[in-house]
Structure 1
Amino acid sequence: MTESHTAIRARIVASPSIAIRLLLATLAIAALVVPALIVIFAPPVRPYRHIAMPPQRVVPQTEIPAVEPLKYQDLPPDDARSFNATIPYSTAPNPAARPFVLTGTDEDKARAIDCMAAAVLYEAGDDTLGQRSVAQVVINRTRHPAFPKTICGVVFQGQERATGCQFTFTCDGALARHRWSDLAWKRARETAVLALTGSVFKPVGYSTHYHTDWVVPYWSSSLDKVTKVRTHLFFRWTGWWGTPPAFGRRVLSAEPVIAQLAALSDAHRMGAALDEAAAATIEAAAVSGTLPPPIAADTNSFIVTLDPKMPPESFAALASATCGERPYCKFMAWSSKAKTPAALPLQSSQVSTMSFSYLRDRTKGYDKALWNCAEYRRPDLTQCMKIQVFVPVVRQTDGFRLENLPGARVVPPPVARTVKATPDGLSGIRRRVEITATPAKPGPQPTTAPVSRP
């Protein structure tokens, strides 16, 4: 028996209701399960970290900008990259730096090359493009008055402080922890030689700062962002201190010995060996009691002839050891036995030939060593003695006599002046001519009547 029309119609009407109920049930289950799955399997959401950056300040030309210690924001690498991307590049001109040519002795040049090679290799890795950009920043710093005046001085600035170094590898143990291959060192030295003999890496211009894009130093917002090379971002100071005229300081050629490089550099190893030998000699002399004795007339003063084999860097240690615990001490030294005085006071010629001096006065907080920089070049000109200039004095007694009195000025003798009428081809005109007379000898002088002057 066939199904009635009424039943068929009822079944057709009921079918959509079942489908809708199934669809709604599925949606309800999904609304509960999907959020639960998202909560379970989604990566954790890091809370937003507020980055407190110092405001940008344009340092006036009358004030040398301060070199900030290397300190970073506490950010994960991805967050640091995102933040660095928000810092715009400077739209000001970015001129290329002037070529730089290293001067000095062969020893100075060898030490500078190895300091530069260490900087570019440990900062940029075995990558020529990155190394050239780092080398240009080192050179820019040596020319800028805010930084040391030598290549090694710039690279190892603040090396004695774990958080005060300017190049991280100099104070984080990287030199001892990681060793590069001989081939990598060869390529780094080639890059260093190029930079120190006139090659310029133009893209970084006069940049003095840089950092990798996965960190955020505290100073980054206060400088002008210049360019990016590989993963390094480069910056220069704002205002006048970031322009070419600010980079006109004379670079010194007397490169210091860096003990940290002794294991990696023959030049620094030899210098360190000389320093250690001198220090051992001084220590042995102190133990044996053979340090220079004070002069008889003043137990706080020492007149010394320097050992020609002792490096100049050791003079200060010798002076300090010789002075011992004296609160006041004068140490005066000459490189030549023939020029060394026998006693005080010193003559002007003896002062002018002095090679080294050291003065300590603890009551005034004074402790200073000075070198004669005409004999011994120093990386810091504040360590140089002032040039002694002695001007002869002319005095009148029975005649003229020259006396070498330091610091006195020339005093000319009185000059007698007379007036003489001289014809000059013009009627009625007289000219006054000054005639220098020979000084008169002492004795009574005749009285003369006043002379009227035309």
Structure 2
Amino acid sequence: MRAILCGIAALAVTLPAIIVRNAPPPPASPRAALAGKVRLPQRIAAPDRIPDVEPVAFQSLDPAEARAWNAGVPFVSGATPAARPFRFAGDAAQLARATDCLGAALIYEAGDDPVGQRAVAQVVLNRVRHPAFPKTVCGVVFQGAERRTGCQFTFTCDGAMTRPPSLPAWERARRIAAQALNGAVAREVGYATHYHTDWVVPYWSASLDKIAEVHTHLFFRWTGWWGTPGAFRRRVSPDEPVISELAALSPAHRIGAVVAEAEAAVAEGAALTPTVDPAVGAMLAGLPHALTDDRDTFMVTIDPLAPNTFPRLALRACAARPRCKLMGWSDPRLVPTSSTLSPQQYAAMGFSYLRDQESGIERALWNCHQFPRLRAAQCMRGRATLSATPAPAPSPTTRGPEGLSGVRKAPAPVATPAGTITQP
């Protein structure tokens, strides 16, 4: 009996040891199992060196692997303070361009989801304030868009913009963009400057601090000093660039494209035009006033030495009006005080701008007898004098002998004081 008890006791001691020694190894965590497939660059930028902004490139993981990897990345410990409110300081035309650039980022990056859109808007505005990125909203959104693998927001270089959003969704995105530009803050993403969906793993993600998750998007900030509030104090610029890719969606960028085209045309023919004194642009210092009988119409005096500034003047005067008309005269004595024009005023008009968003119309035209242009499409109807190729001198008319019988000249028309044309 004693021997049996001793055997049981010995077995109780040795059996667990045998089981432990021969047990299979515990399964590796998903993150450990993927360690061989993921490159892990680790760096903290020194406070005296602005961090590099890397192109978008991804680890070679399928969506399931990416989700497993991202789930194993811990959120940073410590405080994640909310960003300071951002308030755009430009004029109405600049604000319109910034709003539409930001709105495009929201609708294409976050879809028609207001929570995700507010988070994306915060990242864009954080970048505008950070010295590692461009200092305008449009510059941040379209950074690297000219390179298929260099864009920071993929919709700007992957063809997504060929599929326009519905008008209601676009207007909702624009409203959220306008709110963000007027001080609204997405507190949950703090000072994040990067984000990605949870089914991909960008190369840069291992170098940044993971601070928030909004739906399927993960948000990150720079490590070290460059992710602290003190790094986000760069003075931003209100001089928002024109983005031609947004012309189909944004009237603000459509008229901006007209201005850019006009200036490019003038640059091509600069040798054919006199040098302009920079002081002549002073007329742009103040905005013209709309007519009392038509608040969407402007009648203005234009500077004949600065024809390239006319579209800018129209853009600033019309601002965000869906319908607007501006007409300009070089002679201030001919500027009408109402929307009714005499034939003399109509003939002397030097520039006109028309916008009608409902009809899809937006155009700027010059009186090319007064201001020759390189393209006939920029000329008012019947006034297409081009500056690129001077018109040849007219050939002499062959005339018959004086007093030739059978020929009767029609008398020239005479203008009456009322401006009508009569035949004597």
Taking structure 2 as the reference length, what is the TM-score of the superposition?
A: 0.57
Task: Give 1:304-319 correspondences, 5 Å limit.
Answer: 305=277, 308-310=306-308
Q: Secondary structure at the match of 1:210?
A: strand
Task: Give 1:289-300 correspondences, 5 Å limit.
Answer: 290=272
Distance 1:213 1:147 in 2: 24
CA RMSD of aligned residues (A): 2.1
- Residue 230 (structure 1) aligns with: 215
- Residue 136 (structure 1) aligns with: 122
- Residue 144 (structure 2) aligns with: 158
Structure 1 position 49, deviation (Å)? 8.0
Q: Secondary structure at the match of 1:55?
A: coil
Distance 2:264 2:86 in 1: 35
Checking the alignment, whether the CA contact within 8 Å between 1:275 and 1:313 is kept in structure 2 is: no
Residues 247/312 of structure 1: CA separation in 2 closer, same or farther (3 Å cut): farther
Distance 2:109 2:178 in 1: 17
- Residue 72 (structure 2) aligns with: 86
Residues 270/226 of structure 1: CA separation in 2 closer, same or farther (3 Å cut): same
Structure 1 position 290, deviation (Å)? 1.8
Q: Secondary structure at the match of 2:80?
A: coil
1:160 partner letter: E
Structure 1 position 214, deviation (Å)? 0.5
Q: Which of the residues 33, 54, 73 maps onto 2:40?
A: 54
Distance 2:136 2:307 in 1: 24
Q: Secondary structure at the match of 2:102?
A: helix
Checking the alignment, whether the CA contact within 8 Å between 2:34 and 2:69 is kept in structure 1 is: no
Task: Give 1:231-270 correspondences, 5 Å limit.
Answer: 231-270=216-255
- Residue 185 (structure 1) aligns with: 170
- Residue 393 (structure 1) aligns with: none
Residues 271/228 of structure 1: CA separation in 2 closer, same or farther (3 Å cut): same
Structure 1 position 157, deviation (Å)? 0.6
Asked if 1:282 is matched to 2:267, the reply is: yes
Residues 312/164 of structure 1: CA separation in 2 closer, same or farther (3 Å cut): farther
Larger Rg: 1
Distance 2:106 2:204 in 1: 22
Asked if 1:216 is matched to 2:201, the reply is: yes
- Residue 83 (structure 2) aligns with: 97
Q: Secondary structure at the match of 2:254?
A: helix
Distance 2:265 2:239 in 1: 24
Checking the alignment, whether the CA contact within 8 Å between 2:276 and 2:306 is kept in structure 1 is: no
- Residue 6 (structure 2) aligns with: none
Q: Which of the residues 185, 189, 198 maps onto 1:200?
A: 185
2:151 partner letter: C
Task: Give 1:348-367 correspondences, 5 Å limit.
Answer: none
**Deviation string for 1:262-295 (max 9, x for gaps)?**
1110000000011112222333x27xx6256xxx
**Deviation string for 1:132-167 (max 9, x for gaps)?**
000000010001000010111110111111111100
- Residue 407 (structure 1) aligns with: none
Checking the alignment, whether the CA contact within 8 Å between 2:106 and 2:173 is kept in structure 1 is: yes
**Deviation string for 1:352-410 (max 9, x for gaps)?**
xxxxxxxxxxxxxxxxxxxxxxxxxxxxxxxxxxxxxxxxxxxxxxxxxxxxxxxxxxx
- Residue 424 (structure 1) aligns with: none
Structure 1 position 106, deviation (Å)? 0.5
Q: Secondary structure at the match of 2:196?
A: strand
Distance 1:216 1:291 in 2: 55
Residues 61/312 of structure 1: CA separation in 2 closer, same or farther (3 Å cut): farther
- Residue 147 (structure 1) aligns with: 133
- Residue 124 (structure 1) aligns with: 110
Structure 1 position 76, deviation (Å)? 1.0
Aligned length: 254
1:89 partner letter: F
2:307 partner letter: K
Distance 1:309 1:224 in 2: 52
**Deviation string for 1:396-443 (max 9, x for gaps)?**
xxxxxxxxxxxxxxxxxxxxxxxxxxxxxxxxxxxxxxxxxxxxxxxx
Q: Between the two proteins, what is the percent identity of the paired residues?
A: 58
1:236 partner letter: R
2:146 partner letter: E
Residues 155/311 of structure 1: CA separation in 2 closer, same or farther (3 Å cut): farther
Residues 59/272 of structure 1: CA separation in 2 closer, same or farther (3 Å cut): same
Structure 1 position 311, deviation (Å)? 5.4
Checking the alignment, whether the CA contact within 8 Å between 2:259 and 2:311 is kept in structure 1 is: no
Asked if 1:174 is matched to 2:160, the reply is: yes
Q: Secondary structure at the match of 1:200?
A: coil
Checking the alignment, whether the CA contact within 8 Å between 2:135 and 2:236 is kept in structure 1 is: yes
**Deviation string for 1:284-329 (max 9, x for gaps)?**
x27xx6256xxxxxxxxxx654652325999xxxxxxxxxxxxxxx
Structure 1 position 113, deviation (Å)? 0.3
Distance 1:81 1:169 in 2: 22
